[in-house]
């Protein structure tokens, strides 16, 4: 069977499975729509949490970042994984014991304030839409390359699938759909990794293969060969880092703390029956997540080696099929500087920015670009997001493996998009309508509002996928930085202090959010040319500035709390009961 037919088959079957699960698990109440009725098994919830957490960024982008950044890419592994551990141990069980539907629910009740709830909703919606833009880009890339459809049509198809199982099934439908999506994405990630590890090193286990010798007769280990090859082409050594220690620390901490404050992951712990189940599901999720995250460094290293072997110093007229396929999608380009028709991959930029292709072709048949050519020797532009998706093609794996990766990429993007859409719809219908502006709304009316909000959110997400604003690719740091600087301190102090009051929490969230937004916006949007280490505050890049925003949040919140009215006694009792295990409460707490 041809590869293209296999791709249609695999993707079609996976979509049919998702829709079938949504119809089977249709939500009939607000409890089922928001938290799947609160009765999900911890193992099932762990698998769904892993799928919700491992977005297109984890599946498509992370190994690509590691492939091209080497040691510097480790901040994503440490930050995202460490953040999940922090969330599981520090926050999840206590939030589950609180027993409400959403993060703004907790903040509104804990800080006895509608204003605090509204600020939390604003933070949450901004974070979620930033993420969704990235997921829709992933959907567009996979559809345009593997299904031979226009990016716009691909995004529309993705929107339609998410609409069915998110709007119809709510959290109940999403939970069981995400279990299926986890199985698809993890299988799609591991199978090619096993193949490629065996081809490169003779060892099929990628985690061991990364530390093994390359089977090319050189006697070199994988990382030794990468270091030598890259240095010969003018790159830095793969195992050396270029970032300063303070920046590595701050980026890792911002990703970690930001992950612990991400609303679509936190809400998963409201779906289990009790607080102890939240801990168990967190443990299972960590195991399921580790399968991908311990494999990613090997995938990145093997991808970079294979890419160099099949592209560097090869004639374009004899370029492998995968190169021209991705060239047609605008994610790779060859700029023949010296007219010899040979693709020379070196350090530096081949063109300025992403390729803007012309209709005519060059002397060797390459697609010409109208972008300016900066000084240097490099003739190959490559988008790092293609590395995982193109990896099976580069390694000449069977067609069914390529089809599996296409289905896995879509599963990763759609699973997280659905979770984010549900968070947005719950924030609008439950936190803004039910708890703030229309407290007398019926359950039926609230469920209708949730579905309308989810539909509107899908339309906005689709627009961002079809017409991505120029800054979407630049503001990945926004979601983590803003979550770290706004929601995390409020949640943390809400659980672990009795004296933090509403005035302090609101002032802290606004200060942390404002500072982090302005810092990232300045260097990423308004003045990107000044985004160099010499101009950064304390040498901290925009990706890591959320840590400073968090410190500002804590400082402002504590200062304001000391100068304003104390927390009411009933709220102090609420905090005490959240922190004490069930059955261990003492009489003075009631």
Residue 326 has which token pair? 């991705």
The 10s digit of each residue's pLDDT in 244-281 is 889 889 989 988 888 777 767 777 777 777 767 777 88
The structure's pTM equals: 0.82
Answer yes or no: is pLDDT of 95 > 60. Answer: yes
The predicted structure's pLDDT at residue 501: 92
156-170, 176-190, 418-432, 466-480, range with greatest mean pLDDT: 176-190
Kindly indicate the confidence band of residue 426, based on its pLDDT and cuts at 50, 70 and 90: confident
7-11, 40-44, 292-296, 423-427, range with greatest mean pLDDT: 292-296
Helix axis angle, 245-260 to 488-496, nearest 10°:
70
Contacts of 457 (CB under 8 A, 6+ apart): 129, 132, 421, 424, 425
Lowest mean pLDDT among 76-80, 169-173, 389-393, 461-465: 169-173
3-303+398-579: what CATH class?
mainly alpha
The predicted structure's pLDDT at residue 170: 62
Residue 56 three-state SS: helix
Distance CA 320, CA 147 (A): 19
Residue 111 three-state SS: coil
The predicted structure's pLDDT at residue 402: 86
Distance CA 368, CA 355 (A): 9
Residue 221 three-state SS: strand
Q: What is the mean pLDDT of residues 473-483?
A: 68
- Supply the mean pLDDT for the chain: 81
Kindly indicate the confidence band of residue 27, based on its pLDDT and cuts at 50, 70 and 90: low
Contact, 188 vs 56, CB < 8 A?
no
Residue 495 three-state SS: helix
Q: Which of 182, 405, 180, 413 is nearest to 289 (CA)?
A: 182
Domain ranges in the chain? 3-303+398-579
């Amino acid at each position: 069977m041809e590869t293209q037919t296999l791709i249609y088959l695999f993707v079609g079957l996976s979509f049919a499975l998702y829709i079938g699960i949504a119809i089977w698990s249709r939500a009939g109440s607000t409890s089922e729509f928001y938290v799947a009725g609160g009765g999900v098994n911890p193992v099932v919830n762990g698998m769904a949490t892993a799928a919700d957490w491992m977005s297109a960024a984890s599946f498509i982008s992370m190994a690509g970042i590691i492939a091209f950044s080497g040691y510097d890419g480790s901040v994503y592994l440490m930050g995202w994984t460490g953040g999940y551990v922090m969330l599981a141990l520090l926050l999840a069980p206590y939030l589950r014991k609180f027993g409400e539907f959403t993060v703004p629910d907790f903040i509104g009740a804990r800080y006895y304030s509608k204003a605090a709830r509204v600020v939390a909703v604003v933070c949450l919606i901004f974070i979620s839409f930033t993420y969704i833009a990235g997921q829709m880009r992933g959907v567009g890339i996979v559809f345009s390359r593997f299904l031979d459809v226009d990016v716009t049509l691909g995004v529309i198809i993705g929107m339609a699938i998410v609409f069915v199982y998110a709007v119809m099934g709510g959290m109940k439908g999403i939970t069981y759909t995400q279990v299926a999506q986890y199985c698809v994405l993890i299988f799609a990630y591991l199978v090619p990794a096993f193949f490629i590890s065996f081809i490169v090193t003779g060892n099929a286990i990628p985690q061991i293969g990364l530390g093994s010798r390359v089977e090319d007769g050189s006697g070199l280990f994988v990382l030794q060969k990468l270091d030598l090859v890259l240095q010969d082409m003018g790159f830095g050594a793969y195992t050396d880092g270029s970032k300063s220690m303070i920046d590595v620390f701050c980026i890792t901490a911002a990703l970690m703390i930001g992950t612990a404050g991400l609303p679509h992951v936190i809400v998963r712990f409201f779906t289990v029956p009790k607080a102890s189940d939240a801990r168990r599901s967190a443990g299972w999720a960590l195991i399921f997540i580790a399968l991908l995250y311990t494999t990613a460094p090997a995938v990145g290293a093997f991808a970079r080696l294979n890419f160099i072997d099949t592209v560097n110093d090869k004639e374009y007229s004899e370029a492998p099929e995968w190169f021209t396929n991705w060239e047609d999608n605008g994610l790779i380009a060859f700029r023949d500087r010296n007219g010899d028709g040979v693709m020379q991959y070196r350090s530096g930029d081949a063109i300025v920015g992403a390729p803007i292709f012309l209709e005519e072709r060059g002397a060797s048949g390459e697609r010409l670009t109208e972008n300016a050519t900066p000084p240097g020797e490099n003739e190959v532009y490559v988008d790092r997001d293609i590395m995982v998706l193109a990896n099976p093609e580069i390694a000449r794996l069977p067609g069914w493996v390529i089809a599996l990766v296409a289905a896995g990429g879509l599963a990763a993007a759609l699973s997280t998009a659905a979770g984010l859409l549900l968070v947005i719809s719950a924030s609008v219908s439950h936190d803004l309508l039910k708890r703030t502006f229309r407290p007398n709304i019926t359950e039926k009316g609230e469920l209708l509002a949730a579905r309308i909000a989810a539909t509107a959110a899908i339309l906005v997400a689709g627009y961002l996928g079809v017409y991505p604003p120029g800054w979407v690719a630049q503001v990945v740091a926004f979601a983590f930085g803003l979550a770290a600087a706004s929601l995390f301190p409020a949640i943390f102090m809400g659980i672990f202090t009795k004296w933090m009051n509403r005035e302090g929490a609101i002032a802290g969230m606004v200060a942390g959010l404002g500072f982090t937004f302005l810092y990232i916006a300045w260097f990423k949007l308004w003045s990107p040319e000044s985004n160099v280490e010499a101009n950064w505050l304390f040498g901290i890049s925009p990706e890591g500035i959320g840590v400073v925003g968090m410190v500002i949040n804590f400082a402002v919140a504590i200062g304001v709390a000391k100068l304003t009215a104390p927390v009411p006694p009933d709220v102090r009792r609420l905090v005490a009961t959240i922190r004490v295990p069930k059955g261990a409460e003492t009489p003075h707490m009631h």
